[in-house]
Amino acid sequence: MTNNQPAAGFFLRFLAYFNEKLIFLLLASLYLWNVSKNSTLNSVYQGIVILLVIIVFYFLLGMVYTVLFTHYFGGDIGKLLGGLRVRDQSGNKLTFNKILFRQLLSYKFSWLVFGLGFLSILKDPNKQAWHDKTVDSNVFRVQPLLPLALLVFLLTLGGSGYFLKSSFDNFLNSPVKQEVLGLVAAFQEQSKNNQKTSDQKISKQIQDQQLQVYDLMKANKIDEALKEAQLMLINSKTTSEKSISTQVIGEVYASKLDHPTAKTYFTDALKLDQNLPGAYIGLAAANIREKDFQQAIANAQKAIDLAPSRSDYYYLLGLAYYGAKDKDKAIQNIEKAIQGNPNVEEYKKTLEDIKNSTSQTTTNQTQTKTTAPAQPTGPGYTQADIKSWQDELSYINQDLSNIPKFLGNSSYDQGKLNQMSTLLDQRKAIANQIYTKMVNNQTLTTQDEQAMNTYDQLTSQYASLANQVFPRQ
């Protein structure tokens, strides 16, 4: 066959290319429009999945289709509608292998420099694109079908646009939109909750460390407990772990009677998690120590609101009320503590003491190492009052025996160690004075009260120095 037909120009080939794509787009948008008329999310989803399957097979079967159509008819539907045919340069039919290569691979070559290979049609004397040159093919205009090609272009473009817009409108006005929005909201909520859960996870390692800290505190190994608590904080990953660890450090400092530092940790723990009853109760204990009973009541109440089943919290609230000179509420709360845990002898004993106490001014905070030693001002001391001062003396003696171990070691500030030693001596003198009077059931004088205030100041100074000499990790 000799070639008498003219080679097709860029515009016509461009039109044929778009018509080919627009025909599929029209069919797809028609299908989408049909899907969009459904009123349930399930049916819309079903339609979209099927459309995806169609698209995948459009690409797969499209490869077979374009090769077969070009082989048998000289071009795909877009080209045929434009009156175009793919032939070799002489106008003869291309071999099957060349068609295969041209239709499936060589277009890629024309796309190489941003589609410059297609623009080659404009400049090339034979109106060949680069992909034509790879197989010596060309596209010829065998029929003057430009008007038909233009009509198809306008119809398919308009039709696709119309059906796509209608599909979109249908979707916006259908109940499906609400279903999708609901689903999105549920997803967002879940993501938020997942984040929350992840923040609230506490690993087994941290749980074990926490129990270890408490064991060490019970065994009166306070320095080891502090180290373990600090390690616990280092190991903490989630917000919950960090808040719990911070609280535990606060508890250790409280047991060292360093209430200012303990308070800092409890406050930090609450900044991380506002729902930590342990941190509130720690703050309440520190408030009692500072004689800020109103604040102690507020904090203990917050702790109880968060953990109403904790009987020991009622006990501390009771002590705070007693300090605030509200004997009735003190008794009421300690009774609640006993109700919650009838096996604690200390609660019963304290209740009895409060009931029997003659002076409303007596402040009674004791029970654990986390609270400050008692500061009674008159006779009728409870066993807990006496024990707290006894404990104070025991801690002081323990520290006094420990300090010489660090003296002479240049790693520790020797000057500050000496100051600590002096402060311990001063504290010991005051603690002895108060303890002796309480054991002998003697009334405390104004000087004794002043001495106890001094004792508080000395304890704070001592804690501050201890932190400098043995810094926190």
Partner 1 sequence: MEDKNWSISELYSKSWQIIKDNKILWLFGMAAVGLSSGSSRTNIKSGDIDSIRKFFQNNDPGTTSNKITQVLGASTDTFAETIKNLFFAVPIWVYVLFGLGILLLILAGIVLNLIYSAWANGALIAGVNAGTGSQKPTISQSSNNAFPAIKGLIWLNIIPTLIFFLIAAAVLGILILGIILLPSFYKAIPIILTVIAVIGAFIGWLLLTLTQIWASRRVVIDGKPGKQSFLTSFKLAKGRFWKMLGLGIVNILISLAVGFIIAFPLLIAGGITIFSVLFSKSNSSLLGFAILSVIVTALIYIFISPILFGILNSFKATVWTLAYNKIKGEYDE
Choice between 191 and 402, CB closer to partner 1: 191
Chain mean position to CA 92: 69
Q: Nearest to residue 288, comparing CAs of 222, 374, 362, 358?
A: 374
> From the CB of 247, what's the least distance to partner 1, in Å?
8
Q: Give least dist CB 11 to partner 1, A.
A: 23
Only one of the segments 224-232, 274-282, 340-348, 376-384 lies at the binding site for partner 1 (rule: CB under 8 A); that segment is 274-282
Among 181-189, 358-366, 394-402, 447-455, which window interacts with partner 1 (CB under 8 A)? 181-189
Nearer to partner 1, 238 or 461 (CB): 238
Closest to partner 1 by CB, 134 vs 371, is 134
Task: Pick between residue 239 and residue 461 the one whose CB is nearest to partner 1.
Answer: 239
Task: Judge residue 223's burial from the number of C-beta atoms within 10 Å of its C-beta, 0-12 exposed, 13-18 middle, 19 or more buried.
Answer: middle
Among the listed residues 13, 79, 87, 133, the single contact to partner 1 using CB under 8 A: 133
Q: How far is the CB of 130 from partner 1 (least distance, A)?
A: 6
* Nearest partner of 466 among 438, 409, 436, 424, judged by Cα: 424
Identify residues 292-351 at the interface with partner 1 (CB under 8 A).
306-310
Q: Is 363:375 a contact under the CB 8 Å cutoff?
A: yes
Judged by CB under 8 A, the chain residues 76 through 105 that form the site for partner 1 are 97, 101, 104-105
Nearest to 299 by CA among 332, 262, 335, 331: 262
Q: Taking the complex as a whole, how short is the minimal distance between the CB of residue 317 and partner 1, in angstroms? A: 16
Q: One symbol per residue from 241 to 260: x for binding partner 1 (CB under 8 A), - otherwise; what is it?
A: ---x----------------
Binding status of residue 276 toward partner 1 by CB under 8 A: yes
Count of CB atoms situated within 10 Å of the CB of 400: 15
Q: 252-256, long-range: CB within 8 Å, 24+ apart, which pairs?
A: 252/213, 252/217, 252/222, 252/225, 252/226, 253/226, 253/463, 254/282, 254/285, 254/286, 254/369, 254/370, 254/371, 255/217, 255/222, 255/225, 255/368, 255/369, 255/370, 256/222, 256/226, 256/395, 256/463, 256/466
Query: Which backbone phi and psi does 310 adopt, to 5 degrees?
Result: -85, 105
Please name every residue paired with 387 in a beta bridge, in sequence order, or none if there are none. none
The least CB distance from residue 134 to partner 1, in Å, is 4
Query: Is residue 52 part of the contact set for partner 1 (CB under 8 A)?
Result: yes
CB of 114 to partner 1, least distance (A): 8
- The correct pick among 151, 172, 186, 429 for binding partner 1 (CB under 8 A) is 186
CB 213 within 8 A of CB 223: no
Q: Would you count residue 390 as binding partner 1 (CB under 8 A)?
A: no
Among 203, 239, 267, 295, binds partner 1 (CB under 8 A): 203
Does position 171 interact with partner 1 (CB under 8 A)? The reply is no
Fill in the DSSP letter of residue 7.
Answer: B
Give ∠ CA 218-300-238 in degrees, rounded to 5. 65
Which of 6, 34, 39, 49 touches partner 1 by CB under 8 A?
Answer: 49
By the 8 A CB rule, do 348 and 321 touch?
Answer: no
Cα distance between residue 16 and residue 14, in whole Å = 5
Q: Which run of H or of E encompasses 88?
A: strand 84-88
Interface residue list for partner 1 (CB under 8 A): 41-43, 45-46, 49-50, 52-53, 56-57, 59-60, 63, 97, 101, 104-105, 108-109, 112-114, 130, 133-136, 182-183, 186-187, 189-190, 193, 196-198, 200-204, 207, 210, 237-238, 240, 244, 275-278, 306-310
